[in-house]
Structure 1
Amino acid sequence: MKAELSYLDLINLCDNAHPPVNGGIPPDATGFDAEKLVPLYLTPSLDSAIIGILRPVIVEQLKAENARSNELGLRPLWDIRVEESTYRLLRNGRVGPSVSFSAWCDKPSKRTEAMREVCERWRDTGLFADVCGPTKWRGELYPVYKEPFGVHDHASSVMEGGDESRLNYAFEMERSACALFGVVTYGVHMSIYEEREDEQGNRSLNVWVPTRSRTKQTFPGMLDNTVAGGIPSGMGNFESMVKECMEEASLDAGIVRKYARAVGAISYFFREQMRTSKGWLQPEIEYVYNIAILPEVDPSVFTPRPLDGEVESFEVWGLAGWSFMKQDKVIEELRAGKFKPNCGLVLIDLFIRLGLITAENEAEYMELCTRLHGRFSYEIW
């Protein structure tokens, strides 16, 4: 890793997957870039939504799953069309390989139960242990939607006997296994900061920065945004933020509800190459919140303190005079790659919104702005 990363370098560390699907692999591609990925459809029908993206090793494992089901006299879970003679008409008008749930697995509850059985069995047998093995298992369900940029609804919102087919919600699955199926996941990130201005008009910024626990399953010991976490299935974005604020940082729910502000979202397509060399695919959307500490409010009510063991410590770091000088610790640590990759993107987004990164002081300003809001090449999956 470079001694000092540019802001675009930091985005490239996180938004580092731009995979071709169903062809289009550059002739000089090597390693992961040369893999032919297969779209994961929700159903075998021609108008089915695409819900994920599969690497060859997963496609082969799903073939083995079907063979196992046949041996046990069970209905195969997967409709697999990856041989040229079985290719399907894709939604972009081309013909190519595909995988979907079998036609019998046609409701959110059925898909949820099927995925629960598969993921738990993979955990217990040690298959893909680097992702969803016993030490990586989260015991938390994440939602999967037909349209990843659509509404976050849930089966619990449907009256008993109601029509679940109208929902965008497709099913839910174990959090740690999501990257195996390339499904989009969702989270919340918040920065707590204070702006100051002295008598000479010099402006400065203080930001609360946590260090992640050394025992966390993911990115142990790295720096983070003030509060961050995944959105559990069935819970709204803001309620997830309130929950994480209490669990991670001991912040009172009433304070968070009063002062936290939704300020947008970032999105990126991450290929895991830091913790493991396996290259699993994880497109993610993070809803972004701020708490700006107001001068008329007692700042102690915004002071985060570790609670659930996921954070080792919190420190407040400053940016002096709106400058990005090396002595500004948050910038120094950011450019040294010490922050969890997606947290670096959230900080860059914050600096753009506060006017610290501008078109006048950053040559790659427009590249930064647009790369923070990717669509994962979803249209060509």
Structure 2
Amino acid sequence: MHPAKSARRPAHGTVGAGFAKKLFARPAERRLKATLDEGLERIEVVLKNEVQFADDIADVTTTYLLNAGGKRLRPMLVLLAAQLGPNPVSEQLDRAAAAVEITHLASLYHDDVMDEAELRRGVTAAHLRWSNSTAILAGDLLFARASRVFSELGADAIRLQAEVFERLVLGQLNETIGPREGEDRIEHYLRVLADKTGSLIAAATEFGVMLSDAPVEYRAAVREFGESVGIAFQIADDVIDLSPDHEATGKLAGTDLRAGVETLPVLLLQQRAEAGDTDAADLLDRIRTRVADTSAGLHDPRLAIPGPQNDVDPAEVDAIIAELRAHEVTSETLKTAHEYVDRAVAALDVLPEGVVKTALQEFARRLVERNA
């Protein structure tokens, strides 16, 4: 099975600070930023307390990716959405935000096993650091701990968490099996993104509204917002993957393509090829025969697999990736990401005007405009 795109992208930064700094640059937003910064500090304490078990081996494995960093975007969304309610700060909200992040962490352990990933957040993937079984069990422990936290927050929270867990699994299952015969590959791809990424981001915003006692009609709005943002985030990653700026992205251009993963630019290229575009067909063939399966050991020489997976000149691979980067399908991919951002922003129409609504809108836009 080809690696899932979400499983191979190391996160950059810690505790959402760098992203928040860009998001809340205007004077009117600084008070909100201070509130979120304080909340993220509290949540980090909750995370470190909750990702602990009465077993030394369990503690080492379950804290491995937590200690590796991460943007903490999902907890930040819980806190940001909570500002829409009359009770925007509470222990319940902090624990929900932590449990959302723990759920995300758990999914990373499982994804990396399924996808045979080499790196996660700049460190060797847990299944390579220990074993597949150890990584799976570490993920299971984290899912269990998240469920225990949500059980303290009421039936509505438990129900929402269960729905998200189901969608995470369905997304991975559909990605593993692939599109059915006759199914549109792009529609299938977008549905996988919605389940694997959009569902948890949507839940983060919904928990914020739910546990701050915000008006119930806001829940559907922020749910649509979060899911669309999640899809846009992953589509934007398809473009970032082609970037030659290693310093910004932390990885080699075309990491996905080299691993044999067909992201949206490639699927759009296939669509054109099937419609009779011979240039698109030629580029698609070269991607599949000259670029795919050339990724062994690229991330970390310590993980190199003896023998080439594809006996191709690296300069040729780089040139093909650059050709795809300059092709119209990459611009079309970015346009699609912006369309999902527009959908996310439109979903917020029901919210009152103000700094929170503006911050959510900017959050969506900056996720797509980022370069890493």
**Common topology (TM > 0.5):** no
The structure that has the greater radius of gyration is 1
Larger helix proportion, structure 1 or 2? 2
TM-score (norm 1): 0.26
